[in-house]
Copies of this chain bind each other. A is one copy, B any other.
Amino acid sequence: MRGIRQLAEHLEISIGTVSRALNGKPDVNEETRRRVLAAAEELGYVANQSGRSLRQGETKVIGLMIESSQEAVENADNFFLGVTSGLQHVFARHKLDLLMLPCPSDEDPCEYLKRMVARRVVDAMIISNTQRIDRRIDLLSRARIPFVAVGRSLSAGNFPWIDLDFEGVAERAVERLASRGHRRIAITAPSSEVNLGYVFVESYRQALERRGISFDPSLVIRVKSSEQGGYQAAHELLLLEDRPTAVILIYELMAIGLYRRLMESGIVPGRDLAVIGFRDAPRARFLQPSLSCFRMSLYDLGIALGEMLLADMPAYRELYPDSGRNIIWPLELVAGESDAFEIKAMV
């Protein structure tokens, strides 16, 4: 069936009444409503969303931007699918739908986002992997599209975000290693342009200095947060003259490559080198020796993200009392065997 007009003609009533009947408006005879619903079902009529959202100015759809580069795919470990279920649980309460927007790897994420919000196919957006300076945030702020970010940024003063507790993780990881006698502790991180790359290393540096351990820039290994990056990180570690006794990985996935490279040189993780990971990565759960790491619930994160977003949308604002526009997301340490040894004092 084409449009509401054909449906109205078929029923021999006016188009307005059909619309009211379908949308549950009050002033329509129950008998008429029944007929309309029956006919719509029979003819398979469903309202065209373009017309509808043109008229109403909203789409009832929330967008979640993700990256689909080959690297991101290898890297991802269904982080997004994980938060998706939490998000949908929140959105379902308001009959909102979620759409994932995968940005092509060869396109500028900001241009892509601009195109997508221009399409006005979503009422609000969720972005992640924020850069220290992230033009997407300016774009969304200026376009007055409600949004929430996974990750902080220096851009655009005050916007809603949730970020992982890098400070806490760095502090606890360093504490754990230092208490076992480690003094030369390496760390892996992506480029400092990525916000998390900057914050994590900075927290690590402070945690070291609080304990009187001097910060050695050569122990900061800038590699991709991937299995491949882990391999390379191990490689670079082995080239250092004063080899570290511990390493903190910013992503658990890296442990897979790291372990492999270590094994190649006969170095046993958890005996010759302490390893601590960060963020739950299903793929890394099966390493031997098991990895000590910081984990969290992606589902809960999704819930929090969804509620924070709704609190920022005019239509739902009053339902979600000011829960704070910023959240530092806590992680829980899951102790494994990969850092279960102590360093004897050398001096």
Contacts and interface: CB of A to CB of B under 8 A. Distances in A.
B69 A85 contact: yes
Interface string A50-91: 110110000101000010111011101110011011001000
Given A66-B81, A256-B286, 17 more contacts: A46-B117, A46-B118, A48-B120, A50-B53, A50-B54, A50-B59, A54-B54, A61-B121, A68-B85, A73-B84, A77-B282, A88-B105, A97-B101, A98-B102, A282-B283, A286-B286, A288-B288
Nearest to A104: B88
B118 A49 contact: yes
Contacts of A47: 118
Contacts of A70: 85, 299
B104 A92 contact: yes
A37 B190 CA distance: 38
Contact of A143 (B44, B81, B119, B288): B44
A300 to B, nearest CB: 13
Contacts of A102: 81, 84, 88, 98, 100
Contacts of A115: 46, 97
A267 interface: no
A69 B82 CA distance: 9
Contact of A287 (B48, B97, B286): B286
A106 interface: yes
Given A97-B116, A99-B99, A286-B286, A51 B54 contact: yes
A310 to B, nearest CB: 16
A114 to B, nearest CB: 7
A142 interface: yes
A48 B44 contact: no
Contacts of A116: 97
B99 A100 contact: yes
A219 to B, nearest CB: 26
Contact of A106 (B92, B117, B287): B92
Contacts of A73: 78, 81-82, 84-85
Nearest to A105: B85
A88 B69 CA distance: 10
A216 B299 CA distance: 41
A74 B256 CA distance: 19
28 contacts: A44-B143, A46-B114, A49-B50, A49-B119, A49-B120, A50-B50, A50-B59, A51-B54, A54-B54, A59-B119, A66-B81, A68-B81, A68-B85, A69-B85, A70-B85, A70-B299, A72-B81, A74-B282, A76-B78, A76-B81, A78-B78, A92-B106, A92-B107, A97-B115, A99-B100, A99-B101, A282-B283, A283-B283
A82 to B, nearest CB: 6
Nearest to A88: B104
A253 B10 CA distance: 53
Nearest to A253: B282
> Shortest 7 CB-CB distances between A and B: which pairs?
A46-B118, A100-B100, A49-B119, A50-B54, A283-B283, A73-B81, A88-B104
